[in-house]
Structure 1
C-alpha cells in the first residue's frame, strides 16, 4: 500500500470475537508476525485494538515499531502489561463503563500517547450507528500522517499486498 507515494507496512487488525476470542486471535497474529520476521506498525479497531495492545506489549515481538489502537475498550483487562513500542491510544465514549478509568491507567505508561475526544465507539466505522464523518476525516488524515512518519522509515517491506487485513 502506498500513501502519498511512501510505501508503508501496516498490519490492520480487525478481530471478530464471534470466531475465536481475544487470546486465540492474539496468538494467530503473533505467529504470523514471528513467521514473517518483518518490522511493522499495527492499527487496530475495537477488539483489534486490544490485540494490537497485547502485541505491542509482547516482549518477544521487537518487530513491532508502533501501534494505533482505536476504541480498544477491552484493553482494560490487560493493563498489567506495558508496551515495548510507541502506542497511540484513541479511546471513545463507551455506553457500559467509564473510559476515564482506562485512560488514567494508560497515562502512566511513558510510551502511550492518549488522544482524548468526545466520539462514541465506532466513530471510524461507516457501518456503525456511531459513525462520525468529521471524526473519520480527522483521524483518517492523522492515520495517513502516522503511517508515513519517520518511525516507519527503514521498515522491511511486507509481501504483496502490503496491507494485510487479518480476520
Structure 2
C-alpha cells in the first residue's frame, strides 16, 4: 500500500515534506503530488500562491496530474488531499480504476461544490471547515451524505487550518489531524479512520 499526498496551492513546502517523512517512518511508502512539479516556490501569501497555481497549473490540469500519478503508482493507494489537491483528487476518482484508491481523505475541498454529481466507488472521507465564503458547507455535506462510501464532517476550524502558511493555520488542530494521518492502524482501516476523523471533528 502506498500513501499519496496531494498538496494545496502552496505546493511543496517544508511542512508537507515533514508529513511525508513522518509517514515514511511507518511501514508505508509516501509520495507527494504538487502543482509545481516538485519545486518549492516559497509563497508567503495566499494570493501569490493562488495566482501562480492558476497560471502554471489550474484545476483541470491538476486533476489530470493526480490521475496520471495515482495510476503510475501501480499500487492501491491511500490518497490524502488538501484544498485544491482534495478537489483535484475528487474529480480524478471519476476517471480512475475503482481499485486504484483504497481510501481518499480530503481536507477543505471547496471546488467540489461544482462536481457533486460524482459518485465514487471507494471510501471517501471529507473534513470541511466551519464555513466557506462562496457556498453553504452544510448544503454540500448534505448532498455528499446521500452518496455511498462518502463520509463528510465539519470542523470548527477555518479553511487551511492544517497549512502552516495559511492565515487560518491552527497549530493544535493541525497536530491532531496529522497524528491521525500518520497512524498505521488508521491508514490501513478506512472505517476506523473515518470514526476517528468524525470524533476529532466534533470534539
Q: Tell me, yes or no, if structure 1 residue 108 matches structure 2 residue 146.
A: yes
TM-score calculated relative to the size of structure 2 = 0.65
- Answer yes or no: is the 8 Å Cα contact 1:76–1:102 preserved in 2: yes
Gap regions ≥5 residues in structure 2: 1-20, 36-52, 191-203
Q: Per residue, is there more helix in 1 or in 2?
A: 2
Question: How far, CA to CA, are the matches of 1:147 and 1:47 in structure 2?
Answer: 27
After superposition, what is the alpha-carbon deviation per residue over 1:64-123, rounded to whole angstroms, capped at 9, x for unaligned? Answer: 111110000101111101111111101112123221121111111121122221111110
Aligned to 1:156: none
Q: Tell me, yes or no, if structure 1 residue 41 matches structure 2 residue 78.
A: yes
Aligned to 2:171: 133
Q: Which has the higher contact order (CA 8 A, sep 6+)?
A: 1
Gap regions ≥5 residues in structure 1: 153-167
**1:110–1:145: structure 2 CA closer, same or farther, 3 Å change rule?**
farther
Residue aligned with 2:126, SS? strand
Question: How far, CA to CA, are the matches of 2:102 and 2:114 in structure 1?
Answer: 23
Residue aligned with 2:151, SS? strand
Aligned to 2:90: 53
Q: Tell me, yes or no, if structure 1 residue 96 matches structure 2 residue 134.
A: yes
- Answer yes or no: is the 8 Å Cα contact 1:13–1:44 preserved in 2: no
Q: CA RMSD in A?
A: 2.4
Quote how far apart the aligned CAs of 1:148 are. 4.8
Q: Which is further off, 16-25 or 96-105?
A: 16-25
- Answer yes or no: is the 8 Å Cα contact 2:162–2:170 preserved in 1: yes
Aligned to 1:28: 65
Question: How far, CA to CA, are the matches of 2:30 and 2:92 in structure 1?
Answer: 14
TM-score calculated relative to the size of structure 1 = 0.78
**1:59–1:107: structure 2 CA closer, same or farther, 3 Å change rule?**
same
Residue aligned with 1:75, SS? helix
Question: How far, CA to CA, are the matches of 2:103 and 2:154 in structure 1?
Answer: 19
**1:34–1:11: structure 2 CA closer, same or farther, 3 Å change rule?**
same
Aligned to 1:149: 187
